[in-house]
Structure 1
């Protein structure tokens, strides 16, 4: 489990953590299972940066954009890349092979650009509202929930779309109990994530889980299985949903 957590930190962040020397299926399974802990850590950092920027007199919306930019740097932008590639793959015509070829292309097409603009704009606006009301718990909840989406996408029964790559390493590694357990834990934590509105956190987590399930079903059907890009898309969509729902109050 410790090796898996180290691997998750080295995979999912730019923090100076050295991953294990050998990465096998067992370690990858543990990394995906512990990814929500890494998300929570990123949430704490992001909340601190956002609150700090706002305390220095930065307007709340601008602080939201600063936080979005910081998260992109902290994660190497790979989840954003996954969102753009997945949107382009889903937006193209042709068989799964054609969609996978589009996703492998280095550039971002119109669907990818549109997805990024909408997701980043919504995240920044929601973060600005949460920062203005000092609701840092919702930010931590959003980042933890987004990484919990990995566990559902990597559940048993979902094949890899390609024979190589991240998807091939982690596809089918998670027993269904793992995403179910994280859903319960995060929904319970969500009760205290938005002070004065105990229902918003659980609703946000449930909404993110529903969208993740739909994305996983559709991408498995469209691409023939899981890819690393789908994991990135799931993370960004779940982040956006939790932030927006928690900012509605």
Structure 2
């Protein structure tokens, strides 16, 4: 039987190695308990990415880079820092949901198909919305701090999507071990922590309400996506997990832009 310490270590390595481009040793084991804990650690595992985005915002301000340019460099840093993993999931999810009325055909498109028109449109629109929100946020004196916090908060969609009761669309694939592996109490705890972080991000921009409302709307968007995919595909896949991150971040940034 594995000790709690080894389980935590394996979960941390799994979360960091999967959700970021940071090089870490492979976990000693990957089972549902490790995978579930890894999803709970997701907001913490991306702290290196959050720090990188904060640094980009600070440097952009120092060299008087236009806010829109800074916003796109932030998105570039996130894409490089995740190997564009979540963007691929968003594109595949959009293609799958629009490919056919056949569940089997949709899942096949998500597994093997190249990015189609729906996937391209989804990536362009969501990236554009993220850039629009970032452009407003980085203008603030403490924008760097808010951006870093919101990057971490955006990963709250992962434990929510993997909470027990959410079905997996197929028994194989990267997401199969994670989906349904997160205890409800754990997901609620992470959500409460995210609420505090979102409030702090809003406070940095001058409006705690904007941060809190942003989280509420982001969670609503993630839940809507999960319901749609569950009805359409019979469950969710690893691609859907990636889509929740990018959609959630877009909503958070747009809400923060109103602060």
Q: Map Cα deviations across residues 17-53 of structure 1 (whole Å, 9 max, x no partner).
A: 2231322222111111111112344222212122212
Residue 19 of structure 1 is matched in structure 2 by 26
Given candidates 70, 81, 100, the residue that maps to 2:77 is 70
Residue 97 of structure 1 is matched in structure 2 by 104
Structure 1: distance between partners of 2:156 and 2:26: 20
- The CA RMSD measured in Å over matched residues stands at 1.4
TM-score by length of 2: 0.91
Matched position secondary structure for 2:34: helix
Given candidates 130, 133, 136, the residue that maps to 2:144 is 136
Residue 5 of structure 1 is matched in structure 2 by 12
Q: Map Cα deviations across residues 96-145 of structure 1 (whole Å, 9 max, x no partner).
A: 11111111234111111111111111112222221121322332232222
The number of equivalent residue pairs is: 249
Is 1:242 matched up with 2:252? Answer: yes
Structure 2: distance between partners of 1:190 and 1:147: 12
Q: Is the 8 A contact 1:39 1:145 kept in 2?
A: no
Residue 172 of structure 1 is matched in structure 2 by 180
Matched position secondary structure for 1:191: helix
* Post-superposition offset of 1:185: 1.6
Structure 2: distance between partners of 1:146 and 1:127: 14
- For structure 2, which runs of at least 5 residues remain unmatched after alignment? 1-7
Q: Is the 8 A contact 1:183 1:209 kept in 2?
A: no
Given candidates 100, 111, 119, the residue that maps to 1:112 is 119
Which stretches of structure 1, 4 residues or longer, exceed 3 Å deviation after superposition?
none
- For structure 1, which runs of at least 5 residues remain unmatched after alignment? none
Structure 1: distance between partners of 2:214 and 2:95: 26
Is 1:199 matched up with 2:209? Answer: yes
Residue 55 of structure 1 is matched in structure 2 by 62
Residue 147 of structure 1 is matched in structure 2 by 155
Matched position secondary structure for 2:138: helix
Residue 161 of structure 1 is matched in structure 2 by 169
Q: Map Cα deviations across residues 181-210 of structure 1 (whole Å, 9 max, x no partner).
A: 222222122222133211111111111111
Q: Map Cα deviations across residues 61-95 of structure 1 (whole Å, 9 max, x no partner).
A: 10110110111000000100000110111112222
Given candidates 71, 90, 94, the residue that maps to 1:87 is 94
Q: Is the 8 A contact 1:138 1:243 kept in 2?
A: no
